[in-house]
Structures are given as C-alpha cells and as structure tokens.
Structure 1
Amino acid sequence: MKHPLDRPELTPLWQAFHTRLSAGQQVTRVRTGPLDEAARSALADLLGLDRLPGPQPTVALARLDEALLDSCGEDTRSVVATIVGPLGDRAADRASDTADRAALWEWLATHPVVLAQPALGVWVAAVRRSGLIGGSVPATRRALGDALGVLAGLPACGEPLPVFATRILDDSHALDDGTRLSSLVLRALSALYGVPAPETAADRRALWSRAGLADDALSTTVLTAGMHPTGRGPVAHCLAAFSAAGHATHLTLAQLRDPGELHFPRTTVHITENPSIPALALQRFGSACPPLVCTSGWPNSAVVLLLDRLTEAGAPLRYHGDFDGEGLRIAAHVLARSTATLWRMSAADFLAAHLRAPSGPPAGRITDAPWDAGLAPALAARGTAVLEEHVAEELLTDLAGLCADRQTGSTQGLPASNSR
C-alpha cells in the first residue's frame, strides 16, 4: 500500500533525507531543493509553517520527526525507508570494503605459493597496484586463486598448454593467449625468473616453454651422474652402463616419459645448479660417483620429471646452488616444486664460504630465502656471490663420504640437515 505522504511534491524532501541518512553519519539537518512552489507549499503544510520556505530550505531532523509523528505516527527514518527504500550505511559499507580488500591482499601475500618463492613478491605488489578485477573482491580472489593453482603446478613436465590447463583448471582454454588468467600467470613467471614481462606472442610462448609447457621432448634434457637404477628398460640399461664407466648422461624428456622398466633405488640423490660439480665429481670418483642430478640453472621439464620419479621411488633429494640472488630464487623454486631439502645452503654456510672467497661476482637482485631468514640479509650485506665452484671441495668431501658408504654396501645418504 502506498504511503499517504508519498506525493510528488514531497519527493525531493524524502530523497534528500534518504541520501543523508544512508551516509552512516550523524544527521541533524538536511538541505533540500531546489523546490518549486508546490513542493514549498507541501513542506510548509507538513511542518506547520506560517509562511513558505525558500527554494532550497534546510530542514531540521528533529522538527521533521515531530511533524511526522503528529501526522502519521512514524519518524523520518521509517517514512523515508517506506517511500524511497531501505536506508543504507555507506560509512559501514566503506569500512567493510576496506577490510575485505585488506584481507584479500593479506591472503595473497601470505599464500603458501608466494611464501615458498619470495621472488613472487614483485608480482604481488604489481597485482595490488593494478587494483580489483571488475572492482570485486570475490572475483579478484577467484582469479588469483586460479593463478596460484597454476603456479603451484609449474614447472610442468612438457605437456601442451591446453592439456595442462585442463588438468589444473578443468578448462582447456583457461590459459589461452589474451585471457586475464594467462596474463596474471605470465606476469608472475616474469617476476619469478627475473625477466621482462612478455610483450609479443613469441615472448609469451618462450616464457610458457621455460615453465615446462610444450617443451621439445628431444632437446629438453637433464644431466645426471652416478645413477644405478635397475630394470630391463633402455633408460635403466644406459644409465647403469654409463655410471659404471664413470660417465655422465643426458636424459631427454622423451626418454623419461617412456623409459621402459626403470626402478631407482632409495639412495640419496644430490642436486646441483651447475654442471661443473658433476664434472669434478666424476673426475674424482669415476664409477664410484654418488647419484647426482644437475638442473643447469632453472629446472626444466626434464629435471622436474626426473625429480618426480626419484621422489616416487623414495629417494631423498638434497639441493645445492649458487649463493647469489638468482641462486636463492632457483633454490626456492626447487624446494617448492620437489621434496628436496637443502645441502650446505644456510647463512652460516655462506658466511664461511665468503671468508674464503670474498671477491666473487656481484650478487644481483636478492630475494628472501624461505629456509633461512638470515641468508638474504647476509648476502645483501656483502654484495658478492659465492658460486658453487667456490665450495666445490666441501661438496666433494660430502660426496666422498657417500662413496665410502657405497663401497661398504650402505644406501644411506647424508643427514637431512641444512648444512650437510
């Protein structure tokens, strides 16, 4: 039923009070207008005035409440809500929106994928600067959740992008070129790898490939040494034969995808960033060299697939890399994508090595090391890197202990600590 005071000549009054009362702030008087003569006459009748108000009168809330209670037994808020609509609380809405935004950005900054790879902090800051997607917190959180799910699955094992998108997102087109989600993920990958954001289709394809998507199955390889698997498949035979001869082996992605019968022992496998360490290990230990995998920088899809196979076999993994900005990011990436733990990669290890090799190359852009809060500050304070070659003797000494273990038939690796 229409309210008896819902008349056209009083509409400007009700709308003015609705706007002010919905602000969520204290209201004592409201200015309305401009009013025509009919509206001014209706307002004078309502308030019991002895003359017409001006065209833009200021009306006291208490005076209007009194008049309305006398005429219809309701106060201003009740009448306005009935005629115009429910009153809002814009101040509370703004506070709630601010809290929702703060919670969104806190969730993003503390997400396990971001904490595991601090280099993504640059991406987090850029996403926050760009604001909400469609002005919506829920829509932004959904999009970022999808992006983080994609990042958690990278680097991939060389599968085509649509296949990967189907596996992760149940939508083969979710990462098609030009989609908002593909843009979000590619910006994250450029921050992770420390490269410029891709500008062309070729740049985007190259970045996807670097993340292990649509890699060439023959040219994508992983360097290994000292591997002694069992099985009747060709990969097992080749690895065992080359290891027995004291040689390294490059396994292709294709070979790892279809290795035939292949069984890795549950022996500790040490992972290095640089090929020089396996080369020195083979030179020193020959056919007794312990199992080694080299990422040759950022791990490609062949490296990831091999580490997955070793994990499935129950082989403990230990990782060592360069003490520089890039090395810390690669180490964090390996830890996030595999079951590896650290091998001589603590702040104490860096400081001890830096004393022996203080004049290394510049450390470059440094991001936090999630496994040791003191490592990045120590590296930044000294400003120069300690590369794997600088600590080769310490690494080879550790590996020599494993050679002795193998010679006595032991399959135990080094203790699972950050310093060994």
Structure 2
Amino acid sequence: MTQGSRHAFDRLELAPLWQELHARLSSGHTVARITVGPLSPASREALADLLGLDRLPGTRATVSLTRLDEAVREAVGGNARAVAEAIVGPLGNRAAERDSDRAARESLWDWLEGHPVVTTQPALLPWARSMRRAGLIRGSVQGTRRHLSHALTVLAALPAQGDPLPVFAAEHLGDAHALDDGRRLSGAVLRAVAALHDTEPPTTAARRRAAWGLVGIADDALSTTALTAGLRPAGTGAVARALTAYADAGHAAHLTLAQLRDPGELRLPSGDVHVTENPSVLALALREFGAACPALVCTSGWPGGAVVLLLRQLAATGASLHYHGDFDGEGLRIAAHVMAATGARPWRMSARDYESAHARTPTGPPPGRVTDAPWDARLAPALVEQGAAVLEEHVADALMGDLARHRCMQP
C-alpha cells in the first residue's frame, strides 16, 4: 500500500466494525470481543466475507478479536489493531486519561489545602474544601488553578491599607475590575473572608461592602487607625514627633492610615514590640509603666489596614514583633492572621500557657468555633477539651511581668 492510499479494508460497509473496535481499544481496557451494530445488509455481507462465515450475522454481531486478527492476518498481514489505527486514526487510552485527569484534580486540591496562605490560617481550610466540593471551573484543572491562584494572591495581600477595591485589584491582579461585584473571583474571596471571621458569606451588596471593609478595603484613609503606646521613632516628621511626645507623656496614640502613608521623616525602632489584641491590656500597661511603657501596638480585635501597615513597617526596620491575644476560637484565628500578615511570633500563646491560665480561671465563656493554631499543634485540642476561653485580660498580670522584665533589660 503506497503512502496516501486507502487501506484495503477502508470500505463504507466495514466502517461500523473499525469504528467500534477503535473505540473499544481506546478504552485502555483489555478487549476480547466487540459487539457491532445495527448493521446494514451490505455491512452484514462484508463482515461475513471478512470472517469467512457460512451465514450472515444478525443486525447486531459479536466478533471475537482473535477471529478478527486471524482474518486480517490472512488477508493483509498485521492485526485488527493496526487496521483500526490505519483507518480511523491513532488509538487513545481513555482509562489512562481518566487516571491522569483524576491525579491532576487530586494534585490541584492538595495544592490548595497545602498552600501557605491556608496552612498559616487554618480557618481557611473549610473554604478550601468548599472550593473542592464546587468542583472544576468548566471542567478545567488549569483554569481552576488560575482562579484559585488569583484568590490566594488577594488573600495573601489582605488586610489592605484602605485602598478602594479597584485600586487594590489593579495593584495585585493587574485588573481594576477583577474583584467587581458579581465576578466569580470576588465571590470566592468574600467566602474566604467569611470563613476567617466565622460569619456567613455576604449575600447583599451592602453586606459585601461591609465584608470588604473588614479586610481593609475602603474609600478613605482616616477611619482605620492603629492604637500604640511607648513608640519613640526617630525623625523630624510630624508623626515621629507626635508619637514621641505621647510616649513621653505616658499616653496612647492613634495613628491613621493616612499618617502612616505620609508620615514625613519617620524612623521606627528596631527593637522588641509587643502586640496585644485588647485595648484594655494596653491601657493597663500605660497605668503600670506610664512614660516608661515599652513599645506596644494593639490590634483592637481583627486588625485593620493601619495596624497591619504599622506592623509591617516595624518588621521592615528589624523590629521583633511578639503577639498575644484571647484564648478562644476567634482569638486563635486573629493570632494566625496577624502572624501570617506581619511575621509576628507568639507571646505566651502556647498550649502550656493556656492550660496554666485556665487552671487559674476555669470558668471562662465557651470558646466558640476553634480552628488549629499553626504555632502549636496542641493549643486548639486543649481549648476544645477544656471548653472554656481565657480572655487576654485574665492573664494581664503575666503580660505585665514580661513587659516589666523587658523594660528593665533595656539600656
């Protein structure tokens, strides 16, 4: 047979046979026989001639692959597989393709659940699993991975520093409209924000705007502030001079996002900075130490954009950030969020610290939904086992002791 010529068995009346054989062999499974039909009278005659039958087969015929191979070998040499490939095209392997597709899907979901954005904030694990349950976008592993990568990029950048949503989207995704209301990506990110804050995903435009506000997306830079005490930066800028004056007077200071964005000359300290969740602890430190209060920053619950920006600026100068918060479900989520966003390290936030505090105050409120604490695998189980929260105010004496020792060690 010359190049480009038709195969001897490439005949219209035998087409159903070769197409069915090609489909079965492409399944990737062992094939012993095939059933072909319904067959036209011409196809029945052609099949009887090929196989050397003494009578016509029925309109549906079962053909042994061994018998078909023998007939092909006698007529043209080779086997039926080669004929099917020559006439219909290269054989596939659907079983292998299905296995490969299954492995690709499993790899995708394993990648999502093991991504640093998720592992550093275990409250996001239910969100990751909900993405898995939702399945692939239009059946595409690659398309779904791109979508999830964009969502993770956004989550890694939150909380924002008070940017309007289009500005934030343009900066981090290269598309000012990527997070517009109604977009698939916007919905995925807001479901993750709801998981972090243990709330229901927002279902109205007003609630979606509020949810963005929780993670530092805003249209102004004045309403989000960072509460500080004892910060004495160097520099001649207005913010540096004001912080130092407040610290010298033994007062707290609120820094707006606008002030942190445009502080003038400001050289933040590079030593230890202790971070608390509750303003009452910072207030107690000021009463305890006055003008000698060590450097403190308070997140006031979930940190807004100003708090995160200040902590990141401090970390960039080489400051060591030490975080303490409530021992309850939300406190663990806030702690994980702060540590992931700023590089802070835990301060008296181990399972041993919780157990010691619980022994002194065993009648705390229920802890609520508890998620893992990445810095101590024993902490969340201990909290669940005891079933009682320990609020930061209840361990304030130990925190004050640490601050006093730290103050005494300073030159």
- Which TM-score band (shorter chain)? over 0.9
Runs of 4+ in 1 over 4 A off after TM superposition: none
Q: Which amino acid in 1 is paired with 2:307?
A: V
Q: Contact 1:273 / 1:297 at 8 angstroms: preserved in 2?
A: yes
Number of residue-to-residue matches in the alignment: 407
Q: Deviations over 1:41-85 (max 9, x none)?
A: 111111111211111111100111111111111311111112122
Could you tell me which residue of structure 1 aligns to residue 135 of structure 2?
131
What is the letter of the counterpart of residue 336 of structure 1? A
3-state SS in 1 of match to 2:138: helix
Aligned with residue 361 of structure 1, among 358, 365, 369: 365
- Which residue is equivalent to 1:171? 175
1:152-185 CA distance string (max 9 Å, x none): 1111111222222222222222222222221211
Equivalences for 1:293-332 in 2 at 5 Å?
A: 293-332=297-336
Report the equivalent of 1:45. 49
Q: Are 1:225 and 2:229 counterparts?
A: yes
One-letter amino acid of the structure 1 residue matched with residue 171 of structure 2: R
Equivalent of 2:185 in 174, 177, 181:
181
- Work out the CA distance in 2 between the residues paired with 1:370 and 1:135: 33
Query: In the alignment, what sits opposite 1:75?
Result: 79
> What secondary structure does 1:171 align onto?
coil
Contact 2:221–2:257 (CA under 8 A) maintained in structure 1: yes
Q: Aligned to 1:250, what secondary structure does the other structure show?
A: strand
Question: Aligned ranges for residues 120-269 of structure 1 at < 5 Å?
Answer: 120-214=124-218, 216-269=220-273
CA–CA distance in structure 2, aligned partners of residues 45 and 349 of structure 1: 87
Name the structure 1 match of 2:385.
Answer: 381
Greater Cα offset, 147-156 or 119-128: 147-156
Q: Distance in 2 between matches of 1:320 and 1:85?
A: 67
Residue from 12, 15, 31 that aligns with 1:11: 15
Task: Please point out which of 334, 341, 345 is paired with 1:341.
Answer: 345
Question: Which residues of structure 2 form unaligned runs of 5+?
Answer: none
Cα deviation, residue 191, structure 1: 0.7
Instruction: Give the SS at the match of 1:238.
Output: helix
3-state DSSP class of the match of 1:135? coil
Question: What's the Cα RMSD here?
Answer: 1.2
Cα distance in 1 for partners of 2:72, 2:271 equals 87
Structure 1 vs Structure 2: percent identity of aligned residues?
62
Cα deviation for residue 203 of structure 1 reads 1.6
Question: TM-score scaled to structure 2, two decimals?
Answer: 0.97
Is the CA contact (8 Å cut-off) linking 2:234 and 2:266 kept in structure 1? yes
Residue in structure 2 matching 1:63, options 63, 67, 77: 67
Alpha-carbon offset, residue 148 of structure 1: 1.0
Taking the aligned partners of 2:81 and 2:26, their CA distance within structure 1 comes to: 10
Per-residue CA distance 1:319-355 (angstroms, 9 max, x = gap): 0000000000000000100021111000000000000
Conserved? CA contact 1:100–1:137, under 8 Å = yes
CA offset digits 1:290-318 (Å, max 9, x no partner): 11100000110000111122112221111
SS of 1:54's partner is: coil
Deviation at 1:230, TM superposition (A): 1.9
Q: Is the 8 A contact 1:64 1:76 kept in 2?
A: yes
**CA positional deviation for 1:215:** 5.0
Unaligned segments of structure 1, at least 5 residues: 411-420
Question: In the aligned structure 1, how far is the partner of 2:303 from the partner of 2:219?
Answer: 12
Contact 2:163–2:220 under 8 Å retained in 1: no
Q: Which residue of 1 aligns with 2:28?
A: 24
Deviation at 1:390, TM superposition (A): 0.6
TM (norm. structure 1) is 0.95
Secondary structure of residue in 2 paired with 1:58: strand
Aligned-pair distance for 1:93? 1.2
